Structure 1
Amino acid sequence: MARNPTMIDVATEAGVALKTVSRYVNGADNINDAMAARIAAAITKLGYRRNLAAASIRPGWTSKTVGLLISDLANPYYSSIARGAESVLTEAGYLLITASSEEDGATHDRLVDSLFERQVDAIIVVPPRSPGRSWSSVREPHPPVVFIDRPAALDGADTIVADNRGGAREAVELLRSTHGDVAFLGDSLSIYTMQERYLGYVDALRARGEQPDPTLANTGAHSEEQAYAAAIALLQTGRAGAIFAANNRATIGALRAFAHEDVRLPLIGFDDFEAATLVRPAVSVVSQDPQAMGRLAAEVVLQRLAREATTPARFEVLPTSLVLRGSELD
C-alpha cells in the first residue's frame, strides 16, 4: 500500500516552503492567492490529508479508532447498528466515533474527510440518500471501508445489507391474500432500502397477476409527520384494504392516522420498534436485526485490520423475519 503523502510532499509539489503549507492547512488566510492555489492543487493531486492524531501516535501504533457514518442519529434503527458495532470494537480495544450525514451528500463527504484526517483505522458507512462525490474519486491510500444497510461502489469494500425485497414481498403477500388492495407507505425510492422494499411490494402484486396502482403508493414520507399526513389521505379515500409501512417512521405515522380517524386497517411495518407491542393490537413487522448488522460490520473491520480477510470483498445479505402480532388481521 502506498504511504500517506506528507506536508513535505505537498511543499515540494507546490514549490513553496514547508511552513507555508503548514499555515495553509491550519486555516491561515494571509497567504498569497497564487501560492494558495498551488498548495490546494498539490493537496488534491497527492491526496494529502491532515493527521490530527499524529502528535499522540508513535511509529508503529494505530489510532485504535473506527469511524461509523450513519444517516440519521434520531432513528433508533441506526442507534441499534451503532450499539452492535461498539460492543465488538470496545471488546477489541477500539473506540467507535459516530457521526450522521443527515442524508446529505456534501455533509457525508465532509465527515468522511474529517474521519480520514483523524487517521481512523477503518470506516463503516451508511451511504446517504443524496449522493455526494463518487467513492472512486477518493484517493488512496485510505483505511478499509465497510458499507452497511445500503451499497456503494468502491473496489475492495465489503457490503452488508438486509433482505429488504424478500421481507417486503412476504409481508405484502400476506396482506393481499386476505385484505384486498394494499397501500405502500414509505420514503423516497432514491434510497436503496426503500427501492428494494417497493420492489418487494411490486413482486407480491405481480405474483397474483396484478400491477401496482400508483395512487396507492406514497413514496414521499421521509418524516413521521409526512407519513401521518399520507396515511390520513389514504384512509379518507377509502380505497386501501391494508397498509404496508416501509419503515418504522411510516408505521408510527400510520398508527397516529388510525387514532385520528378512529379507523384501523390491517397493517404490517418494516423494522421493529420499542412501542410496537404497547398498542392494541400489537404491530406486526418485518424484522431485521440492526445490532447483528453492526456487529458483523465490526467483525469484518477487525478481520481486515488483522489482514485475515485476504479474499475479495464480500456482499452479505442478512435475512429478515415476519413477526405477526395481530395488526395484520384488523
Structure 2
Amino acid sequence: MQRKPTMNDVAHRAGVALKTVSRYVNGDPTIGADYADRIREAIAELGYRRNMAAARIRPGQSAKMIGLIISDLSNPYFATLARAIELGAAAAGYMLTIASSEEDGARHDLLVDRLLEQQVDAIIDVPPRAPGRAWRDIPPPLPPLVFVDRPSDWAAADTVLADNAGGARSATRALLHAGAGTVAFVGDSVEIFTMGERLTGYRQALVEADRPVDDDLVRDTVHTVDDAMRVVLDLLAGGRAQAVFAANNRAALGALRAFRLAETFLPMIGFDEFEAAALINPPISVVSQDIQAMGRAAADLAVARLNGSDIPCTTTVLPTSLILRGSERLLPAF
C-alpha cells in the first residue's frame, strides 16, 4: 500500500520549515504569500491530507473507523442499509461514521474530503444523483472503497447492487397478468441509477407483453411522499392508468394517500418493503430486496480489503423477490 505523505514530506517539497507547514495547515494568516504558494503546490502534488485523528492514534495504529456516505438518512431504506453496515463493521472491530449527501455532488465532495481528513480506514459510498468530482481526480493514496446500491466511475473498488431492473420487470408483469391494461411508473428521478434501472425493467415488461410504452404514464419527479400523492392524484384524474408500479417506498406511501383522498384504489405493487405494507387493507404487494444482506456484503468487502485482500474488484448483484399480497389485483373502492 502506498505510504501516505506527511507534513515533513510537504516541508521538504516546498523547501520550508516543518513549523511553517504546520502554521499553514492550521490557517495562520501571517505566512508570506510566497511560502503559502509553495506549500499549497506541494500539498497538491503530494496529495497530503491533514490527519485530524493523529492526536488520538498511537504510531502504527489505525483509527478503526469506516466512513459511510448515503443519500438520505431520513429514508427508511437508507437507515436500514446504514444499520446493516454498522453491524458488519462493529463485528470486525470498526466504528462507522455516517453522513448524507442529499443527492448533491458538491456536498458529496465535501463529505469525502472530510472523511479523508479524518483518515478513515475505508469508505463505503452511495454515489449521489448529481455527480461531483470523479474519484480518479482525487490525489492518491485512497483508502479501500466500496460502492453500495449504485455503481461509480471508479473501477478500483468493489460494488454491491440489487437487481433493480429484474425486480421492476417482475412487478410490472404481475400487474399486467392480473388484468391491468395500462401501468403507470411512479418514482424518483431516473438520473438516479436505481430509478433508471427500474424504469428499464418496467419498459421491458411492457414490450414483452406487446403493450405500448406511454411516456405520459411515466412520472419520475417523486422525491417525497407528498410528491407521489400529487402525481397519483393527477393520474387518477386523467383516467388512463389502470395500475401503478410505485418504484420506491415513498412513491408507494404517496400513492396510498392519493387513493384514500380519491376514495378509490388502483392495483399497485411497490418497490421496497415497508413496515406497514402487510398491515394495510389491502396488504401491499412489493418487490423486496435484502437490504441487510446488501449492507453486510458492503461491510465484509471493506473489512476484507483492510485485512489485505488483493483479489480483483467485484460487482455483486443481489436478487430481489416479488411478494404478492393481493394489491396487484383490482379491488373494491375504500
Instruction: Please identify runs of 4+ aligned residues in structure 1 that moved more than 6 A.
Output: none
> What is residue 99 of structure 2 aligned with on the other side?
99
| Counterpart amino acid of residue 209 in structure 1 | D
Looking at structure 1, the residues matched to 230 and 27 of structure 2 have their Cα atoms a distance apart, in angstroms, of 46
TM-score normalised by L of structure 1: 0.96
> How much does 1:89 deviate?
1.5
> What is residue 195 of structure 1 aligned with on the other side?
196
**Greater alpha carbon shift after TM alignment, 212-221 vs 12-21:** 12-21
Task: State the percentage of identical aligned residues.
Answer: 56
Q: Output aligned runs, 1:217-236, within 5 Å.
A: 217-236=218-237
What is the SS of the residue equivalent to 1:124?
strand
**Greater alpha carbon shift after TM alignment, 2-11 vs 143-152:** 2-11
> How much does 1:225 deviate?
1.5
> What is residue 282 of structure 1 aligned with on the other side?
283
| Counterpart amino acid of residue 28 in structure 2 | A
> How much does 1:34 deviate?
4.3
TM-score normalised by L of structure 2: 0.95
> How much does 1:289 deviate?
1.3
> What is residue 145 of structure 2 aligned with on the other side?
145
> What is residue 165 of structure 1 aligned with on the other side?
165
> What is residue 154 of structure 1 aligned with on the other side?
154
Given that residues 226 and 253 in structure 1 are in contact (C-alpha distance below 8 angstroms), is that contact kept between their aligned partners in structure 2? Answer: yes
Given that residues 66 and 120 in structure 1 are in contact (C-alpha distance below 8 angstroms), is that contact kept between their aligned partners in structure 2? Answer: yes
2:12 counterpart of 1:4? no
> What is residue 269 of structure 1 aligned with on the other side?
270
| Counterpart amino acid of residue 141 in structure 2 | P
What is the SS of the residue equivalent to 1:274?
coil
| Counterpart amino acid of residue 175 in structure 2 | L
> How much does 1:313 deviate?
0.3
Q: Output aligned runs, 1:180-191, within 5 Å.
A: 180-191=181-192
| Counterpart amino acid of residue 201 in structure 1 | Y
2:249 counterpart of 1:257? no
What is the SS of the residue equivalent to 1:329?
coil
Q: Which whole-Å deviations, capped at 9, do the CAs of 1:176-225 have from their partners, x for residues lacking one?
A: 22111000001111100000000000100111223310100001111111
> What is residue 310 of structure 1 aligned with on the other side?
310
> What is residue 70 of structure 1 aligned with on the other side?
70
Given that residues 82 and 291 in structure 1 are in contact (C-alpha distance below 8 angstroms), is that contact kept between their aligned partners in structure 2? Answer: no
> How much does 1:290 deviate?
1.1
> What is residue 27 of structure 1 aligned with on the other side?
27
> How much does 1:22 deviate?
1.5
What is the SS of the residue equivalent to 2:277?
helix
Looking at structure 2, the residues matched to 180 and 30 of structure 1 have their Cα atoms a distance apart, in angstroms, of 73
What is the SS of the residue equivalent to 1:67?
strand
**Greater alpha carbon shift after TM alignment, 156-165 vs 17-26:** 17-26
**Greater alpha carbon shift after TM alignment, 49-58 vs 14-23:** 14-23
What is the SS of the residue equivalent to 2:129?
coil
> What is residue 108 of structure 2 aligned with on the other side?
108
> How much does 1:8 deviate?
1.9
**Greater alpha carbon shift after TM alignment, 242-251 vs 220-229:** 220-229
> What is residue 244 of structure 2 aligned with on the other side?
243
Any unmatched runs of 5+ in structure 1? none
| Counterpart amino acid of residue 300 in structure 1 | L
Q: Which whole-Å deviations, capped at 9, do the CAs of 1:244-283 have from their partners, x for residues lacking one?
A: 0000011111111101111110000001111212310011
Q: Which whole-Å deviations, capped at 9, do the CAs of 1:122-171 have from their partners, x for residues lacking one?
A: 11100011101011112221110000000002132000000000000000
Any unmatched runs of 5+ in structure 2? none
Given that residues 148 and 159 in structure 1 are in contact (C-alpha distance below 8 angstroms), is that contact kept between their aligned partners in structure 2? Answer: yes
> How much does 1:75 deviate?
0.5
Aligned residues: 329
Given that residues 156 and 313 in structure 1 are in contact (C-alpha distance below 8 angstroms), is that contact kept between their aligned partners in structure 2? Answer: yes
Looking at structure 1, the residues matched to 47 and 213 of structure 2 have their Cα atoms a distance apart, in angstroms, of 48
